[in-house]
Structure 1
Amino acid sequence: MKTTLSTTFGLLMLSAAVMASATEMPVVKPLRGTVESVSNNTLTFTNRAGAQQTIGLTDKTGFVEVSKADIDSIKADSFVGSAAIPQADGSLKALEVTVFESSLKGSGEGHYGWQNADGSTGTMTNGTVGKLSKANGRTLTVNYKGGEKQLVVPDDVPIAYVEPGKKDALIKGAKIVAFPAGDGKNARGVAIGKDGFQPPM
């Protein structure tokens, strides 16, 4: 079960990155919005610009649920993901940090481009926390296959927790982040906010 969940959600971002662009650093472009309805395997949502969009759901679409967490959830050996802005010294300044439930360890592992909610492009880094220091927030060493990054996490950035979810959580009003498959017609995966929470990635 652990391998299946990790592999499924890993495709949400990593495979999307590979297919999104042929540039040196592929950029993942997730869709963000609020659920309106699910009918005939079609998810209808209102995006953050107020326009209505649809995307298909298949038997291969993975689902996770995202809830609010706090900065103390980040521990040595946690598997995390972070949208961030590269800094002049080579470090990354986190815009958010997502802590994955243990069964999802390995999800989207790596370092690649990421389109933020405001349309700007930053990075996404998913990996295992190594060295961790606590001063003015957190400074983490995030290790992934092929490299590592220093991630500075200010006290005021959103922290989230991700766990396996189900399609049933796609209720009207739920906040979602959807990851399109290569053709853009179907979702490779959907992250669903729990209890009205807006996934920060």
Structure 2
Amino acid sequence: MNIHKPQPLRRTLLMSALLGTLLASALPACAEDGKPMRVRGTITAVDGDALKIHSNRGEDLQVAVTPNTQIRGVTLAQVSEIKPGSYIGSAAVPLPDGSLKALEVHVFPPEMAGTGDGHRAFDLTPDSTMTNGSVGDLVASNGRTITVNYKGGQKTIVIPDDVPIVNLVPGDRGLLMPGVKVVLQAQKASDSTLTALSVSAGENGVTPPM
């Protein structure tokens, strides 16, 4: 009687279990890869429906623009333009007292109120967050402090004097020219091609600070 006969089956079962474990552990990475990526940089050329961009990370990228790509202009604004009820977004970092220090503030037009509502991690700096919501109280003195209300919470944000403040305005492809600074969201396909979901383009030399 051959007592070693079950060994191949046992090895097969062990290998199957191991392969299943490896595949399961790989799933989160694949899901992460499917998320849109943010690109910050300068348009170097426009070739039909393709933008060539030199990113702030030193990469030369080509990104397709489609009829579904949302295009917004970015113009300079003043803190006086932020009023109770304004819908804003702000990349910020935490302060010791639990409030946030703004790294930038962008003001949405009324028709874009509700865009990205909430508070979440952001990639402007390692510890930055993004808060989108409606301005509640606003104090124009003593550091310029605002409260931002969003579904499920509220944040207090301090806006230093040197922080860039911009308006987001409706735009079109006429804004997409060589030399223009952009921040865009792009979807990466399985063949590594990039398609822009949205583009925020600086007007009159403005660098989008988001």
Q: TM-score, normalised by structure 2?
A: 0.77
In the TM superposition, residue 104 of structure 1 has moved relative to its aligned partner by 1.6
CA contact (8 A) 1:34 1:174 kept: yes
| 1:192 maps to amino acid | A
Cα pair distance change 1:149/1:29, threshold 3 Å: farther
Partner of 1:163: 169
The one of 121, 126, 130 equivalent to 1:124 is: 130
**After the TM superposition, which residues 1-201 of structure 1 pair with which residues of structure 2 at under 5 Å, given as runs?**
21=32, 30-116=38-124, 120-181=126-187, 183=189, 185-201=194-210
Q: TM-score, normalised by structure 1?
A: 0.80
* C-alpha distance in structure 1 between counterparts of 2:66 and 2:151, whole Å: 29
Larger Rg, first or second structure (1 or 2)? 2
In the TM superposition, residue 50 of structure 1 has moved relative to its aligned partner by 3.5
| 2:187 maps to amino acid | A
In the TM superposition, residue 21 of structure 1 has moved relative to its aligned partner by 4.8
| 2:90 maps to amino acid | S
In the comparison of the two structures, how many residue pairs are matched? Answer: 177
Q: Could you say what the CA RMSD is over the residues aligned between the two structures, in angstroms?
A: 2.2
* Greater shift in the superposed pair: 145-154 or 183-192: 183-192
- Per-residue displacement from partner, 1:87-111 (whole Å, max 9, x unpaired)? 2322111001111121221122111
- Per-residue displacement from partner, 1:154-187 (whole Å, max 9, x unpaired)? 1111110111110221011111001123647211
CA contact (8 A) 2:40 2:56 kept: yes
User: Identity rate of aligned residues, in percent?
Assistant: 42
SS of the residue corresponding to residue 72 of structure 1 reads: helix
Where does structure 1 lack aligned partners over 5 or more consecutive residues? Answer: 1-19
| 1:124 maps to amino acid | M
- Per-residue displacement from partner, 1:90-148 (whole Å, max 9, x unpaired)? 211100111112122112211111111xx524101111000111223311110111211
* C-alpha distance in structure 2 between counterparts of 1:109 and 1:42, whole Å: 30
CA contact (8 A) 2:36 2:187 kept: no
* C-alpha distance in structure 2 between counterparts of 1:189 and 1:158, whole Å: 21
Partner of 1:11: none
In the TM superposition, residue 196 of structure 1 has moved relative to its aligned partner by 1.0
* C-alpha distance in structure 1 between counterparts of 2:187 and 2:110, whole Å: 25
In the TM superposition, residue 39 of structure 1 has moved relative to its aligned partner by 1.9
* C-alpha distance in structure 1 between counterparts of 2:187 and 2:37, whole Å: 11
| 1:31 maps to amino acid | V
SS of the residue corresponding to residue 103 of structure 1 reads: helix
